Amino acid sequence: MTKLEQFVACRPGLFGLAYRMLGEAAEAEDVLQDAYLRWERSEAVAVPGAWLTRVVTNLCLNRLTSARARRERYVGTWLPEPVVTENGELGPLETVEQRDSLSFGMLVLLERLTPPERAVFVLREAFGHSHREIAEILEIDETHARQLYRRAREHVGEPRRRFSAVPEQAREIVERFLAAADKGDVADLERLLADDVVAWADGGGKAVAAPRPVIGRAKVARLLIGLARRLRAEHMEVAIRSVNGGPAIVAWEGEALNAIAVPEISDGRIVAVHTVVNPDKLAFVVARLT
């Protein structure tokens, strides 16, 4: 295989790693471009995947400090950039851990971690690397790698909720959710929402979005029905697509992508709805779907 062919074979996993590390798809693409340039200039290596994983991880670590500073200045709620996951672009999503580590809820929780903690957590949880392998990637000793992983799990803490619905069940719940909101059926919608459901919206100061989270079944139901009425009034096209490892609602107005709403499901109920309307954060999805 040529170097390009080797890189292409590793690319989905590398992009999945960079995206989970950064929460930003465009930044992850930049990391992969930098990694490829280094790969082209490198001498022959015995295990290309391991070499590239080490390079991508360290490039992400270098970017995380500046990323945190940007997010502290961000207008309103910061949410990750959504990524379509229908085409395997982020690597395999066969296990609960692989899907869970892509969810908006988890990516937001990972913002609590230091860059090394985040690297260890992602490498261990999403990619199943051993502590010894992680220590080699980060060039630290194995005891330190274990300590970082333990601290990361503590910092992520109890709010962490894993998917309890298989993809088919999750899609059915989202279809019922969309139908209830479209019909304005408050009772039906509330039955699908957890008591403590939270709705988050990210406009980044570039699109209208609630500045603070909306909490509670009744308030979130009213909010969602209001949004559904707006979609109908503005004649937007709505579809369900696979985003960040699960079904999401995508709203188009002509050729313009206006919003992506990503429900998070646990125990058969929607526990959170993350909606991205910042056009800058929708650009990556637009490029993949058009």
Ordered by where they begin, the domains of the chain are 3-156 (1.20.140.160), 167-289 (3.10.450.50)
Q: Tell me, what's the pLDDT at 161?
A: 54
Which residues have CB under 8 Å from 170's CB, separation 6+? 163, 246, 247, 265
Number of other CB atoms surrounding residue 260 within 10 Å: 25
CA dist 66 → 27, 62, 63, 72, 143 (Å)? 12, 8, 6, 10, 28
The first and second tokens of residue 149, run together, are 């992983």
CA dist 104 → 33, 52, 244, 271 (Å)? 25, 26, 7, 12
Q: Which residues of the chain have pLDDT under 50?
A: none
Q: Tell me, what's the pLDDT at 197?
A: 96
Q: How many CA atoms lie within 13 A of 32 on its CB side?
A: 24
Q: Tell me, what's the pLDDT at 86?
A: 83
DSSP 84: B
Sheet strands (E) in the chain? 193-202, 214-215, 237-243, 246-253, 256-266, 269-276
- CA gap 221, 226 in Å, rounded: 9
The first and second tokens of residue 108, run together, are 């937001």
Q: 3-class secondary structure for 169-214?
A: HHHHHHHHHHHHHHHCCHHHHHHHEEEEEEEEEECCCCCCCCCCCE
